[in-house]
Structure 1
């Protein structure tokens, strides 16, 4: 996995080569300075690592608080014990120091020195502030105050896996580690690598990490340069960046000029639109006055129409009440007439029923008489049949007598036919009499 290097001398590249397999890790940065420029910890922070920054300069401590979310920032110097000490700040540089002799050398070189008083804590207190868990690397960049920092380790059992200490005199290539290296070795560390500015030490418990320091940073580390470091080899990147900024600024100026012309055109268009809007508002105001007059006229007409409709409604209401009274009278008269007619019809029907009952009784009596007569006729016919049979039996004997009495027989036959005709007439009359009451009722209804 590649990283972006922000450090001054590729310290982050070397540490990432040794510790990049740890996810996530922890660090302690003594003399952290800027959160971006020459930062050793930023590449790790971008990969999820978290840690402690110790920085006595108020300006840089505030920047660290603002830009390193999740990290602990201690605004103090680190020394042999907890106290207050004089600190010599050189604004805009990374060479501020707590060593008065070195500060004087910088003053003689023309640097502006600001002497301030800052709190001082021991390195053991920094380890305690880091909390429990492994610390994977410790970086110390204190401009000649290294021995005091390491002397504050004390009895702490914390052992960062790798310790990086700036080991040359400020602004020189002169190595200066003789008065403090023995302290590190006494805590169980052995020298692993010198990069021309810093010395790298590996804890005895993690001696396998020394293999990562057999060669300097190279193409196989696959890192990218941020262009923010103060080292000279970043200057070309910075120059190219500045050139691009100039080009971008020129392009931006052209765009701003075009935008200004567009703005002027838009202002002219807005002025024309404002004029058109004023005319439209004037026309609208005249139109509104005309519409208001028409609305007043329509309201007056509507009011007159409403009064007229109210009068008509009142007239129709009175007519409706009168019609309702007439309808009630007609309904009452109709109800009375209907009642009288119903009574008359009931009386008529009852009389017809009585008449029909009497007629039915009469017809029943007549029918009984007809039945008796029919019985007699039947008996007569039976007697005639008997006589006829007797005649046939004694035909031979009485032929002469029968011939003599043929006239009598013919008369009897005539009487029989007359009797049968009379019987048919009686039956027809009975049928007429039986249906006469109904024919009367139907005849009366049709006449009505």
Structure 2
């Protein structure tokens, strides 16, 4: 009976897509689905926030049975994320950095979905302007503040999480620190079928990803790009 219900639900979603709830900003998860249209997949999401708001992976976990790794540096959002998604996926409270990052902690400025790091070179034209714009999108009950996040290369977290060596999706939205994160992965040990990356300097990102075996698949909007494993 459970199997029949799963089949009915799956068929219903395909026949009635208007009844399916997506969560990603600008329907990014809905745009991803044609590339990842299967159940029981795996993901890694950085910039996980509370695990639901503007999440690119919550739909896949909730509706398609996926599991994965969620990483969020702000402690209060980490706790929300753990509460909402920790029963199925592994949740970490860290900021991901490149291999060889010298410090245990990295300074972060909280700005909800637009929080940024201070101790890294970022792909942002103007950090101060970015934070000023972030204020416009924060709730009246929120304030911006600085805090120290525990810095770890993503590779270290993947090993601790016992992630598979082949992951179906990496979702990377870290407000300009994308290259720093990518430089903290052993790309021979861990591969991703697809990488969804928010970036502001596509040439620079493509240049690096080309050296580790990924090619641009498509642009899902003006700042979010999908890369495919080319090995």
Label 1:113 to 1:188 Cα distance change in 2 as closer, same or farther (>3 A).
Answer: same
For structure 1, which segment, 128-137 or 58-67, has the greater mean C-alpha deviation from structure 2 after superposition? 128-137
Q: CA deviation at 1:39?
A: 1.0
Stretches of structure 1 that go unaligned for 5 or more consecutive residues are: 169-175, 206-448
Distance of 1:183 and 1:149 partners within structure 2: 12
* Greater helix content: 1
Give yes or no for contact 2:168–2:192 (8 Å, CA) kept in 1.
yes
Within 5 Å, give how 1:79-158 maps onto structure 2. 79-81=97-99, 83-90=104-111, 93-99=112-118, 102-109=126-133, 111=135, 112-133=143-164, 134-154=166-186, 156-158=188-190
- 1:66 counterpart = 2:83: yes
Distance of 1:138 and 1:120 partners within structure 2: 19
Residue 210 of structure 1 corresponds to none
Distance of 1:33 and 1:182 partners within structure 2: 28
- Secondary structure at the aligned position of 1:178 is classed as helix
Q: Could you give the per-residue CA deviations for residues 201-236 of structure 1, whole angstroms, max 9, x where no partner exists?
A: 00014xxxxxxxxxxxxxxxxxxxxxxxxxxxxxxx
Give yes or no for contact 1:57–1:75 (8 Å, CA) kept in 2.
yes
Residue 140 of structure 2 corresponds to none
Give yes or no for contact 1:54–1:74 (8 Å, CA) kept in 2.
yes
Q: Could you give the per-residue CA deviations for residues 361-399 of structure 1, whole angstroms, max 9, x where no partner exists?
A: xxxxxxxxxxxxxxxxxxxxxxxxxxxxxxxxxxxxxxx
Residue 180 of structure 1 corresponds to 205
Residue 284 of structure 1 corresponds to none
Label 1:108 to 1:60 Cα distance change in 2 as closer, same or farther (>3 A).
Answer: closer
Label 1:183 to 1:62 Cα distance change in 2 as closer, same or farther (>3 A).
Answer: same
Give yes or no for contact 1:99–1:145 (8 Å, CA) kept in 2.
no
- 1:30 counterpart = 2:46: yes
- Answer 1 or 2: higher relative contact order, Cα 8 Å, separation at least 6: 2
Distance of 1:163 and 1:151 partners within structure 2: 14
Distance of 2:151 and 2:188 partners within structure 1: 17
Give 1:15's match in structure 2, choosing from 24, 32, 48: 32
Q: From the CA coordinates, give the structure whose radius of gyration is larger.
A: 1
- Secondary structure at the aligned position of 1:179 is classed as helix
Distance of 1:192 and 1:110 partners within structure 2: 29
Q: CA deviation at 1:130?
A: 3.7
- Secondary structure at the aligned position of 2:117 is classed as coil
Q: CA RMSD in A?
A: 2.1
Give yes or no for contact 1:9–1:197 (8 Å, CA) kept in 2.
no
Distance of 1:162 and 1:62 partners within structure 2: 28
Distance of 2:191 and 2:131 partners within structure 1: 37
- Secondary structure at the aligned position of 2:114 is classed as coil
Distance of 1:59 and 1:148 partners within structure 2: 24
Give 1:196's match in structure 2, choosing from 212, 219, 222: 222
Distance of 2:57 and 2:131 partners within structure 1: 30
How high is the TM-score relative to the length of structure 1? 0.41
Give yes or no for contact 2:106–2:118 (8 Å, CA) kept in 1.
no
Label 1:36 to 1:110 Cα distance change in 2 as closer, same or farther (>3 A).
Answer: closer
Give yes or no for contact 2:187–2:212 (8 Å, CA) kept in 1.
no
How many residues of Structure 1 are paired with residues of Structure 2 in the alignment?
195
* Greater strand content: 2
Q: CA deviation at 1:107?
A: 4.5
Label 1:87 to 1:71 Cα distance change in 2 as closer, same or farther (>3 A).
Answer: same
Q: CA deviation at 1:197?
A: 2.5
Give yes or no for contact 1:52–1:73 (8 Å, CA) kept in 2.
yes
Give yes or no for contact 2:171–2:195 (8 Å, CA) kept in 1.
yes
Q: Could you give the per-residue CA deviations for residues 20-64 of structure 1, whole angstroms, max 9, x where no partner exists?
A: 22x311100011112222111111111211100010011110011
Residue 319 of structure 1 corresponds to none
Q: CA deviation at 1:103?
A: 4.0
